[in-house]
Amino acid sequence: MRIRDALESDAESLATATDRPRGVVKDMIHDRSVRVAVAGSGGKSGGGDERTSGDGGAGGADSSADSNGDGSSVTGFVAFDARGETVHVTDFDGDDEAIRRLFEEPRRFARREGMGVEVVVPDDERTGAILENSGFESAGPGPRFEGRRTTRYVIDSADLDG
């Protein structure tokens, strides 16, 4: 598995994974920093463990990254943006390993910029344990989302060192 910037050509895969219209996903790729986990035969790494991404700009900025049409398959994604002193994870999906690896991206960006990281997840999702194992701490309830209760997870900037 390798991590790279999302490209417009990934929109169809991400739209399918999130059950959202392709246009909405394309907007997310342009408006946020979006990283994808890819596996498969395409690319420089041949499906190995490699990270290829830009410096946290808008998704799709790395034109040397492989498109999704090369035999690789998107196995997960994370979208995030920075507001104030916090990097906010706004969306993500994938298997446990992909999520764990993808969450390294907003952490890396936050560490470099001296910011904290925050994510809000529905209480019924399996990701709470993954987030806690990745250094996030529960900060209590978050806002309701589509009628479901959520939990807010945070990492203080001081806890991102090392």
Q: Summarize pLDDT for 53-73 with one digit per residue, the tens.
A: 444 443 333 333 344 455 568
Burial of 17 (0-12, 13-18, 19+ CB in 10 A): middle
Range of the domain at 133: 2-160
Q: At what angle do helices 11-18 and 22-31 cross, to 10 degrees?
A: 110
pLDDT band at 45 (very low <50, low <70, confident <90, very high): very low
To the nearest whole number, what is the mean pLDDT of the chain? 82
Q: What is the pLDDT of residue 145?
A: 87
Which whole-number Å values give the CA distances from 119 to 10, 76, 98, in the listed order? 23, 16, 16
Q: What is the largest distance, in Å, between two alpha-carbon atoms of the chain?
A: 44
Q: What is the pLDDT of residue 10?
A: 93
d(CA 75, CA 47): 12
User: For the domain that residue 153 is a member of, what is the CATH number?
Assistant: 3.40.630.30
pLDDT tens by residue, 120-133: 998 876 778 888 88
DSSP-based three-state secondary structure for 100 = helix
Q: How many structural domains compose the chain?
A: 1
Q: What is the pLDDT of residue 69?
A: 52
